[in-house]
Amino acid sequence: MTNPQPLISANELLGLVRTGADDLRIVDCRWVLGNPGAGAIVYARSHLPGSIHLDLDDDLADPTGFGAPGRHPLPSPADLAADLGLAGIGDHHLVVAYDDVGGWVAARLWWMLDVLGHESVRVLDGGIAAWTAAGGELTADVPAWPAADLHLAERWDRVIAREELRARLGSVVLLDARGGPRYRGETEPIDPVAGHIPTAQNLPTDANLTEPTGAFRSADELAAQFRDLGADGSMGPVVTSCGSGVSALHHALAMRAAGLPDPILYVGSYSDWSRSGEGVATGPEPGDPPAA
């Protein structure tokens, strides 16, 4: 079966909203690094009509979940299904996630639902800016969705933990989605050690987007950039990482849009690696795998 396309345009979503599609659930995923609760504040001011807000820290991560001690471990699938069901998201709903940073936070919700078997999930291409540019209105009204039944798979798939990744460095294509200065070790505002995981190639999430709209590049352009890095499946499995397993999923979204094989997520990402005592590389080159 062909994997479903992960993006929806603002015009497509606008049509669904205006026709009053009752199987639609829109989720505002706005979040600000280093400023807990900021997403909920901007949501309260204005958001897409009919949307609820889910917070990355509170709703899409669990400090004791898979990927600990990274900064954003995954909750258990059972807890996620229960919480989203109480929020009004059910098996029959088309879920559309959006943010205001090019889709890398919304990609977290997309990936979580997709990997657990809920295929009717999309990310709004271009985010809230694309919505308003298409003539979509904003509101401060908060919907009251009735609870729904949501059935998801029992365990996470397409994930890798630190011990397994360490053993496979050099045999997987590892992509680091962080910005260049953090990858090179020139700055590190959050994690305890500056640098990157040895063998990781740097591909910041901005490389997936067009300017000035912030929409995703074409499928052909995306496929070409991943192919240039050997991240199209031709050089072995692809593992995506970032700071804490969130922006790495922007690459999973882009690879799906490009028709490439789905990558594996290092959930703990650099937040886990840098706290573990593992060796790191600095500078613009990927570096060699650690000695056995």
Active site residues: 242
Average pLDDT over residues 164-191: 97
Mean pLDDT of the chain: 96
CA distance readout (Å), 116 to 20, 29, 91, 159, 244: 27, 19, 12, 12, 20
Fold match, 7-133 / 159-273: yes
- Give the pLDDT of residue 292: 67
- Give the pLDDT of residue 117: 98
Per the CATH hierarchy, to which homologous superfamily does domain 7-133 belong?
Answer: Rhodanese-like domain (3.40.250.10)
Tell me, yes or no, if the pTM score tops 0.85: yes
| Tens-place pLDDT, residues 118-137 | 999 999 999 999 999 999 99
Average pLDDT over residues 81-88: 98
Q: How confident is the model at residue 2 (pLDDT cuts 50, 70, 90)?
A: low
Q: Which CATH number applies to 159-273?
A: 3.40.250.10
| Tens-place pLDDT, residues 196-233 | 999 999 999 999 999 988 999 999 999 999 999 999 99
- Give the pLDDT of residue 141: 97
Q: How confident is the model at residue 33 (pLDDT cuts 50, 70, 90)?
A: confident
The yes-or-no verdict on residue 84 having pLDDT over 70 is yes
Q: What DSSP assignment string belongs to the chain? A: -PPPP-EE-HHHHHHHHHTT-TTEEEEE----TT-TTHHHHHHHH-B-TTEEE--HHHHS--TTSBTTTSSSPBPPHHHHHHHHHHTT--TTPEEEEE-SSTTTTHHHHHHHHHHTT---EEEETTHHHHHHHTT---B-----PPP------SS--SEE-HHHHHHHBTTBEEEE-S-HHHHHTS--SSSSS-SB-TTPEE--GGGGB-TTT-PBPPHHHHHHHHHHTTTTTTTS-EEEE-SSSSTHHHHHHHHHHTTPPP-EEESSHHHHHTTTT---B-SSS--PPPP-
Domain extents in the chain: 7-133, 159-273
67 vs 133 pLDDT, higher one? 133
Average pLDDT over residues 49-66: 96
The yes-or-no verdict on residue 1 having pLDDT over 50 is no
- Give the pLDDT of residue 130: 98
- Give the pLDDT of residue 122: 98
68 vs 215 pLDDT, higher one? 215
Average pLDDT over residues 18-36: 94
Q: How confident is the model at residue 82 (pLDDT cuts 50, 70, 90)?
A: very high
